[in-house]
Chains A and B, each alone.
Chain A
Amino acid sequence: MAYTEHELEQELKDKEYEYGFYTDIESDTLPPGLNEDIVIAISKRKNEPDWMTEWRLEAYRHWKTMAEPNWANVGYEKPDYQNISYYSAPNKKPKYESLDEVDPELLDTFNKLGISLDEQKKLAGVAVDVVMDSVSVATTFKKNLAEKGIIFCSISEAISEHPELVKKYIGSVVPPKDNFFAALNSAVFSDGSFCYIPKGVRCPMELSTYFRINQAGTGQFERTLVIAEESSYVSYLEGCTAPMRDENQLHAAVVELVALDNAEIKYSTVQNWFPGNKEGKGGVFNFVTKRGLCEKNAKISWTQVETGSAVTWKYPSCVLKGDNSVGEFYSIAVTNNFQQADTGTKMVHLGKNTKSTIISKGISAGQSQNSYRGLVQVNKRAENARNFSQCDSLLMGNKCGAHTFPYIEAKNKTAQIEHEATTSKIGEDQIFYCNQRGIDTEKAIALIVNGFSKEVLNKLPMEFAVEAQKLLEISLEGSVG
């Protein structure tokens, strides 16, 4: 039977969130609300040193003076920041040495995700720092990494064990006063990951974390800090799914990357939080600040597959400070039903001979709105800066929207900047061509969407590509074969 675009649309609409389950682990939750006492309480609970408490308080005081921004092309009901519980930690908190000790319920959760720790362990060298509701409960392969001098732990552990590193770098790329959500995060971040690669070390495995928002009504505020010393290399993966919840959950993370001279950081994200049901009810608010700093000859590469969240507001950026540094951004953003995404990147060229590449693919279906917003800035001293940007949008159905807001600013005559954007739908002729050759419409659409996103999917590390494919399937089921 012929599979029409209309049927696809219908199927997309009816598609429910497959991963909507909820792990029943007792949590130790602070009462909702935000004031200096709460900030101090979070800091106390995590046994942080005084300088950290003070740092949080300063961020909080500044946050109080800031207004929530509203320039993004998204509409949503602003969360009541006094009605959110800012801390929730799993109660049973033993330090696991092996998987056997891990709460079976937790393991079950990951089994449902199809990415069990067992499997992960067997798979070629993926160390998983599992963040379950803000506090790290399991860290594997730590010993392996420690031999190389690599520090990979939760940020709270890093604060107590490597304060000199944290003190030096935290807030150096995303200052606490950077924006509303970064300030909020700086004040109340509960946990996150910390990664330090020493000089000249090539991290032998892909480092990865899985974030889950698990406790109803608790926003999750992770803080990730990745430091790559001179001539080192690390590939970092981050992936997330969240259980189905009716009320909106706020997620305001901060990710900071520091790539010193000749270092390379590859940061990949697969995001599949609950996008809300097909009436647009519920879903996660994803307001994330991600930024990387490149010193001389350094390279930072962001790859993201965004399929979830009701509202996404996220611009992984690169500050190309050192000469010859390289920034890359590869993104697929899929929106369906009532999802809204305003995502893109910022490439700030400061050093000479800096290069940046932006490839952004947006797919909108249902009644969703998908925006690309990007900044390419070439400063006066950035001789021979080079940028190439390409933003393609694919529209499925005529109830959705695709928007492009590129900002291009050049102050140096040697700058070479190219920006291209296209918007299209899947052509009837393309489908007809496939049909002629015996490929049915469903497969044809799958083929075309796959081809459309291939440039970005190719950039994902092997371990992630499988999952990314899976997430695309969920978001646009019936279209990916």
Chain B
Amino acid sequence: MSLKDKLISSFLAFEENIDLENDIHTQRDSAIKYFENTGFPTKKDEAWKYTSLNSILKEDYSIFPKKEFALDYKDVKKYFIHDIDTYTIVFVDGIYSSHLSSTTHDKFDACLMSSALNKAKYKSIIDTYFNKATPEDSLVSLNTAFTREGAYIRVPKNVAAEKPVQIINFSTGSETALMVQPRNLIIAEDGSQLQIIERHQSLTDNAVLTNSVTEVFVGKNANVDYYKIQNDKTSASLIDSTYVKQDRDSVASVHTFSLGGKLTRNNLNFYQNGENINSILKGVTILEDKQHVDHNTLVHHQQPNCESHQDYKGIFSDKSVGVFNGKVYVDKIAQKTDAYQSNNNILIDDTSTCNSKPQLEIFADDVKCSHGCTIGQLDNEALYYLQTRGIPYKEARALLMFAFANNVLDSVKIPEIKKRITKQIALKIGVELGFDL
């Protein structure tokens, strides 16, 4: 039985199993129907031209984890950003793990999607926001149909979240192959501030497929800062779809660090629904060992006087494949838009591949839109210069790679994350830098 058939036949059982009030039942129903009609995307879809899901769909995934698996904090501590104080929402095999988490309802809500979906007091919020930022898409529909758990964060008007929120999804491998579909809803109301760190981590060599959907609503004058850390095992695949809807004068930024995983697909869409909005999309991708990362971004400028900045850097070696498919869409009325898109890549060897497709679609005339894309290698002369100054070849290369990735790291606002990513990059390149960038 193909995964698609399995999912569709599991849907009924899923609906019976969960004691949800059927508020979103109709949404689930139409979502599974949509998925049934469209199925998984194939390379024939323009948006999936360079990424085939075939290799990950052939596994026999179990769709409902059988039992809860307890993890010891000390075993998984290294996957947390533990040196700063944060709220944490942790899921193990798709199920909420209360003893690893610290949630809050104090100044703002950082809790669970399941309770938001079930409790009456959240009903109006779910009605207003749930599934409202997503476009019609087969994988999103699949996630909507199976929505059960995930993070729910809501920051009320004019509140600044005092600590960042970490959302961590572990998979333990108690199943031979597991598919999880977390669904996150993040609402930053007018004038609020929020920082989020998200991570997907597999703890075994068993196959894991995560089909995650996150909706982010950024109110007027609000500021949301989102960090995605993707450094998973080569048995784990991730399809992450994040939809950010922004209101006037807001700022939203998403940093994606793709350092590992078998296949990672990032769908990152920004919709600008007011004036003076700033959207920032940045990413560093460092891959080896047949890994595949596909960044698919869209910034839809729907109102005048907005800005967007996209900056993606990639370093690829050893049969890895990097894909960047960025799109800037400027509506007729979105005059004075300032959109910038940049994608720079380095290929370390001839087995790696890089495909880039930066696109502009512009319908307004008074705009400043540009994009740049390069594929090249480290500058030999710079390398030679460093070597003549007594810096060994390996360190010199590492230095240049850091310099290459640096302006993405520069805009990271949480120092601990910056430090950690720096370390991870050093680890990947296999050198001790002896300093922090």
Residue from A401, A417, A421 within 8 A of B375 (CB atoms): A417
Minimum distance in angstroms from B55 CB to a CB of chain A: 19
Are B362 and A412 in contact (CB-based, < 8 A)? no
Whether a CB of chain A sits under 8 angstroms from the CB of B360 is yes
A398/B332 contact (C-beta < 8 A), A404-B359, A409-B353 known: yes
Residue from A400, A409, A423 within 8 A of B360 (CB atoms): A423
Bound CA–CA A197/B36 (angstroms): 59
Interface centre among B50, B347, B365, B372 (most CB of A within 10 A): B365
Are A418 and B373 in contact (CB-based, < 8 A)? yes
A interface majority secondary structure: strand
Whether a CB of chain B sits under 8 angstroms from the CB of A415 is yes
Whether a CB of chain A sits under 8 angstroms from the CB of B369 is yes
Chain A residue, CB-CB nearest to B355: A409
A408/B360 contact (C-beta < 8 A), A418-B373, A419-B374, A423-B367 known: no
The count of A-to-B residue pairs whose CB atoms sit within 8 angstroms is: 119
Residues A404-434 near B (CB distance < 8 A):
404-425
| Chain A 237-274 near chain B by CB (<8 Å), digits 1 or 0 | 00000000000000000000000000000000000000
Residues B327-372 near A (CB distance < 8 A):
332, 335, 345, 347-350, 352-372
Residues B358-416 near A (CB distance < 8 A):
358-377
B interface majority secondary structure: strand
Residue from B348, B359, B360, B376 within 8 A of A415 (CB atoms): B376
Are B362 and A410 in contact (CB-based, < 8 A)? no
Minimum distance in angstroms from B171 CB to a CB of chain A: 33
Are A400 and B355 in contact (CB-based, < 8 A)? no
Residue from B349, B362, B372, B375 within 8 A of A403 (CB atoms): B362
Bound CA–CA A463/B367 (angstroms): 37
Bound CA–CA A288/B353 (angstroms): 30
Are B359 and A413 in contact (CB-based, < 8 A)? no
Are B373 and A419 in contact (CB-based, < 8 A)? yes
Bound CA–CA A416/B373 (angstroms): 11
Chain A residue, CB-CB nearest to B353: A411
Residues A452-481 near B (CB distance < 8 A):
none
Whether a CB of chain B sits under 8 angstroms from the CB of A402 is yes
Residue from A378, A399, A401, A406 within 8 A of B359 (CB atoms): A406
Are A413 and B352 in contact (CB-based, < 8 A)? yes
**Chain B positions near chain A (C-beta within 8 angstroms):** 46, 50, 332, 335, 345, 347-350, 352-377
Bound CA–CA A209/B41 (angstroms): 46
Minimum distance in angstroms from B356 CB to a CB of chain A: 4
* Interface contacts beyond A411-B354, A416-B375: sample of 12 additional A-B pairs, CB < 8 Å, sorted by A: A393-B362, A395-B364, A405-B357, A409-B50, A409-B356, A410-B347, A412-B347, A415-B347, A418-B372, A418-B374, A422-B369, A425-B365
Please, which residues of chain B bring their CB within 8 A of the CB of A407? 355-357
Please, which residues of chain A bring their CB within 8 A of the CB of B376? 415-418
Minimum distance in angstroms from A333 CB to a CB of chain B: 15
Bound CA–CA A7/B358 (angstroms): 35
Residue from A396, A399, A411, A421 within 8 A of B371 (CB atoms): A421
Interface centre among A378, A398, A416 (most CB of B within 10 A): A398
A: contact size bracket:
35 or more
Bound CA–CA A418/B374 (angstroms): 4
In the assembled complex, 26 residue pairs joining A and B whose CB atoms fall closer than 8 Å, in A order, are A393-B362, A395-B362, A401-B363, A402-B362, A403-B361, A403-B362, A404-B359, A406-B357, A406-B358, A408-B355, A408-B356, A408-B373, A409-B353, A409-B355, A410-B355, A411-B350, A412-B347, A413-B377, A415-B375, A415-B376, A417-B375, A419-B371, A423-B369, A424-B367, A424-B368, A425-B367
A398/B335 contact (C-beta < 8 A), A403-B360, A410-B354 known: yes
Please, which residues of chain A bring their CB within 8 A of the CB of B366? 398, 425
Are A420 and B375 in contact (CB-based, < 8 A)? no
Are A401 and B362 in contact (CB-based, < 8 A)? yes
Bound CA–CA A425/B366 (angstroms): 6
Bound CA–CA A397/B371 (angstroms): 22
Whether a CB of chain B sits under 8 angstroms from the CB of A71 is yes
Minimum distance in angstroms from B25 CB to a CB of chain A: 37
Whether a CB of chain B sits under 8 angstroms from the CB of A380 is yes
Are A71 and B46 in contact (CB-based, < 8 A)? yes
Bound CA–CA A405/B361 (angstroms): 8
Bound CA–CA A398/B331 (angstroms): 10
Bound CA–CA A425/B373 (angstroms): 22
Minimum distance in angstroms from A351 CB to a CB of chain B: 15
Chain B residue, CB-CB nearest to A405: B359
Residue from A411, A412, A417 within 8 A of B373 (CB atoms): A417
Minimum distance in angstroms from B360 CB to a CB of chain A: 4
Bound CA–CA A405/B372 (angstroms): 12
Chain A residue, CB-CB nearest to B378: A413
Are A420 and B355 in contact (CB-based, < 8 A)? no
Please, which residues of chain A bring their CB within 8 A of the CB of B354? 408-411
Residue from A393, A400, A413, A423 within 8 A of B349 (CB atoms): A413
